[in-house]
Structure 1
Amino acid sequence: MKDLVIKEIDKIKEKLFELSDQIFDNPELCYKEFFASNLLEDYLEENGFEVERGLGSVETAFRAKYSNGDSKYNIGILCEYDALPMGHGCGHQMQGPSIIGAAIAIKEAVKDLPYNLIVYGTPAEEGGGGKMKMLDEGFIKDIDVALMMHGGPATQVDVKSMAMSSRYVKFFGKSSHAALKPEAGRSAFDALLLAFQGVEFLREHVKEDTRMHYTVTTLPGPANVVPSKVEGHFSLRSYNSKYLDEIVERFNDIIKGAALMTGTTYEIREDRRLESKIPAYILNDLIMKNARKLGAPRIREAREKTGSTDFGNVTYLLPGSCARIAFVPEGTSSHSQEFLDLGKAKEARECVEFGAKIIATTVYDLIENPKLIEKQIEEFKEYKKKM
């Protein structure tokens, strides 16, 4: 049966390459991906999927479903299609065509087994937190497992990703002439500097895989005036969402202390909260077994730890895995010119094809043996207790 699935992808792969090139040639920033989403939605509709265009407040998100018989589980496959200001320097132009190619192949090839297949188009991964907004509005939660693909320097899967709390802090003081009446002033900038120093001291007393970054986002003004207002941006990260909660509590105490020491007040605003990925070893193993059978390029061991992504919010809620498919040289960073330069090359086409085939054959494994989904859900629950 897997051979039939693969043959279905071979039938449409030239069309998938064309879609990828079209999205590459028309890059769109977060929440503005109207061309890409329409292109993918149209093709899914043409191939018999029930497509819902625009989900909640996210106009460029979509949900496409195909059911065959009566199945207990909903298998979800997700794709991104937003670009960077530089263009498609992260390879998102390949995701949509690859994922919908997998979906269409399953629909055409698998006729004798029951399944529910749901494709989610998820915009604004690059700085927009699209999946977070979609989850907040009730979407994506209707699937039992989630699969994705992404181009990269190697074919592999991820085990964990970093939870992140992005926080903006404003301090409010009292302005005065710094030379003539310094005693009347209360420096908001002093409070921010003390907060920075407090984070440095906190850095000595946290687990080693914790990360903390900060910067000034609004300048305090001339040197001879005590600053009455200033803002800083802090990024707090951990590979464990529960431990990140502890870090946030201690961070809040630092901010409170900095305000007390300077006679200022403060305001904290959390901009984004990305969760840590819960390991999904069963899905990871299925993906890599299929990658090996298909002869995918540059197969490597799993990445135990990766950065932060809004896919982490999905995989903190339900089991999920992303197949990374090699298409750029090893050592190449995403958001780079090299990603951009290879966006329509032979390597990109191979990435689309291998991604579609790996995801489709993994979906077939789950359809053929639903107990794998049950086992993955139980494994997920056990790991989440710790994270």
Structure 2
Amino acid sequence: MYPDPALMKQKIKETVDRLDPDLRELSQRIHANPELSFQEVQAQQWLTEPLEAAGFQVEKGISGLDTSFRAVWEGQSGGPTIALLAEYDALPRIGHACGHNLIGTSAVGAALALKEACPDLPGRIIVLGTPAEEEGGGKIIMVNDGVFNEMDAVMMCHPQQKTMVLRGALACVDATFTFHGKQAHAASSPEKGISALDALVNAYAGINSLRPYLKDDVRVNGIITKGGDAPNVVPELAEAVYIIRAKTVEELKIVMDKVYRVVRHAAEGVGATVDITEGLIYAERNNNKTLAGLFQQNLEDMGIEVHDPPQTGGVGSSDIGNVSQITAAIHPYIRLGDATTHTPEFARLAGAEEGMIELNRAAKALALTAFDLYADKAALQQVRDEFEAWKQQKDEG
């Protein structure tokens, strides 16, 4: 269909460059107006406006999530369905310190460039707006609703300290432990009270004592969010919030069971009770190596050096892991300075010139890799074959 793919790729890159001023303005507008998870009303509107103007069919409120969206452009029949994922939620107090203003805008930019440069493309381009990555697991809700079942491949690109295409991510869950005791005067009648705080502190110490007996890649991190109101009152309520991580969902559930047993025994030991409230489980990331290889080649063709991911440690969690259990997916990274994510310095970079350079590169790499799948049926089949083989092996245990 495309006798000269290299010529088409050059056209795609030139189109991204032509769109660059508008993409910069969009990204910086989102950066200057950070919105927390499930509250991304302005970002949703701003990201969908250029897609609607370009002829994409836009639907908002996917899977019951008010700030989600799906923008679809139907090309020629007979081709694949490729989704570019947009994230756009910010962090409390430090704004876009994870660079989601860049992630959302790069997905939009890639889709606009593909449609403009390749109007006769076979297949569908989807920009999927996925809210609440930071807190709430928007993609998990959408996975459970079947949103990704129709998609042949899914991509997004994240800013980071290094450019990497195969960095993994741990399975994780957040858990809130709410301890209930009995209030009493701490001096005149302490024997009539049951300290919810003592139960929590015992649980905290007990969880820490698990460390020597957990695998090296397990992470159990927690904070105390409620510990009482006055030192002369036996606390009747205490609360802690934890994030538990492990290599796979299966291993995560084993760790969760150990932690929960410690928590329940700590409450029982002082006569308190405890309620355990779980968030959604974020699955580990299954990077599609074939798709990642295409992405890496496009980066290297642009003169961008790609680094190997760390062999151990140095990884977090993301709800794209759940997507990668459903279809072929990648979550590569493009370098944005030396600052680590979730810091004020990274937030500054995400709105600065360094961030705009990353945005341009990400939009190009996403568009070029999607083009590879539209233009090369053999490459698409290899991506799908790898995913189906992985899925079969996983299902067989």
Q: TM-score, with normalisation over the residues of structure 1? A: 0.90
- Distance between the aligned counterparts of 1:216 and 1:111, measured in 2? 55
Post-superposition offset of 1:242:
0.8
Does 2:75 match 1:63? no
Post-superposition offset of 1:354:
1.0
Change (3 A) 1:218 1:303: same
Counterpart residue identity of residue 54, structure 1: G
- Distance between the aligned counterparts of 1:265 and 1:65, measured in 2? 50
- Distance between the aligned counterparts of 2:268 and 2:281, measured in 1? 27
Query: Partner residue of 2:125?
Result: 117
The one of 325, 330, 333 aligned to 2:340: 333
Does 2:317 match 1:308? yes
Change (3 A) 1:343 1:236: closer
The one of 280, 292, 299 aligned to 2:306: 299
Post-superposition offset of 1:385:
5.2
Change (3 A) 1:327 1:181: closer
- Distance between the aligned counterparts of 1:205 and 1:7, measured in 2? 55
The one of 321, 336, 355 aligned to 2:330: 321
Post-superposition offset of 1:277:
1.0
Post-superposition CA distance 1:144-188 (Å, at most 9, x none): 321001222222124321211211112222334445554443332
- Distance between the aligned counterparts of 1:234 and 1:14, measured in 2? 42
- Distance between the aligned counterparts of 2:297 and 2:22, measured in 1? 27
Q: Note if contact 2:283-2:319 (Cα within 8 Å) is conserved in structure 1.
A: yes
SS of 2:234's equivalent in the other structure is: coil
Change (3 A) 1:382 1:284: farther
Counterpart residue identity of residue 217, structure 1: T
Counterpart residue identity of residue 281, structure 1: K
SS of 1:278's equivalent in the other structure is: coil
- Distance between the aligned counterparts of 1:108 and 1:138, measured in 2? 29
Query: Partner residue of 1:346?
Result: 353
Change (3 A) 1:236 1:25: closer
The one of 163, 166, 170 aligned to 1:155: 163
- Higher deviation after alignment, 338-347 or 55-64: 338-347
Percent identity reads 34
Change (3 A) 1:77 1:99: same
Does 2:176 match 1:164? no
- Distance between the aligned counterparts of 1:221 and 1:70, measured in 2? 64
Counting only pairs closer than 5 Å after superposition, residues 182-193 of structure 1 correspond to structure 2 as 182-193=190-201
Q: Note if contact 1:279-1:380 (Cα within 8 Å) is conserved in structure 2.
A: no
Post-superposition offset of 1:348:
2.3
SS of 1:230's equivalent in the other structure is: strand
Post-superposition CA distance 1:218-276 (Å, at most 9, x none): 11344454333222222211121110011111222222222332222221111342221
Query: Partner residue of 2:386?
Result: 376
Q: Note if contact 1:79-1:149 (Cα within 8 Å) is conserved in structure 2.
A: no
Post-superposition offset of 1:94:
1.9
Post-superposition offset of 1:383:
6.5
Counting only pairs closer than 5 Å after superposition, residues 253-268 of structure 1 correspond to structure 2 as 253-268=261-276
Change (3 A) 1:222 1:19: closer
Post-superposition offset of 1:72:
6.2
Post-superposition offset of 1:321:
1.1
Q: Note if contact 1:186-1:228 (Cα within 8 Å) is conserved in structure 2.
A: yes
Q: Note if contact 2:179-2:237 (Cα within 8 Å) is conserved in structure 1.
A: yes
Post-superposition CA distance 1:97-131 (Å, at most 9, x none): 22122112222333555222211012222334332
Counterpart residue identity of residue 364, structure 1: F
- Distance between the aligned counterparts of 1:57 and 1:310, measured in 2? 17
- Distance between the aligned counterparts of 2:331 and 2:390, measured in 1? 15
- Distance between the aligned counterparts of 1:53 and 1:67, measured in 2? 18
SS of 1:274's equivalent in the other structure is: coil
Q: Note if contact 1:125-1:310 (Cα within 8 Å) is conserved in structure 2.
A: yes
- Higher deviation after alignment, 227-236 or 351-360: 227-236
Post-superposition CA distance 1:6-63 (Å, at most 9, x none): 2332332222222223323333333232222222211111112111123243222110
Q: Note if contact 2:166-2:289 (Cα within 8 Å) is conserved in structure 1.
A: no
Counting only pairs closer than 5 Å after superposition, residues 99-110 of structure 1 correspond to structure 2 as 99-110=107-118
Q: Which runs of 5+ in 2 are unaligned?
A: none
Counting only pairs closer than 5 Å after superposition, residues 194-209 of structure 1 correspond to structure 2 as 194-209=202-217
Q: Note if contact 2:148-2:326 (Cα within 8 Å) is conserved in structure 1.
A: no
Change (3 A) 1:28 1:177: closer
- Distance between the aligned counterparts of 1:383 and 1:152, measured in 2? 31
- Distance between the aligned counterparts of 1:34 and 1:130, measured in 2? 14
Q: Note if contact 1:170-1:268 (Cα within 8 Å) is conserved in structure 2.
A: yes
Q: Note if contact 1:159-1:280 (Cα within 8 Å) is conserved in structure 2.
A: no
- Distance between the aligned counterparts of 2:243 and 2:213, measured in 1? 17
The one of 133, 139, 152 aligned to 1:144: 152
Post-superposition CA distance 1:336-355 (Å, at most 9, x none): 33333334443222212111
The one of 44, 49, 53 aligned to 2:51: 44
Q: Note if contact 1:157-1:284 (Cα within 8 Å) is conserved in structure 2.
A: yes
RMSD of the TM alignment (CA)? 2.5
- Higher deviation after alignment, 246-255 or 187-196: 187-196
Q: Note if contact 1:21-1:93 (Cα within 8 Å) is conserved in structure 2.
A: yes
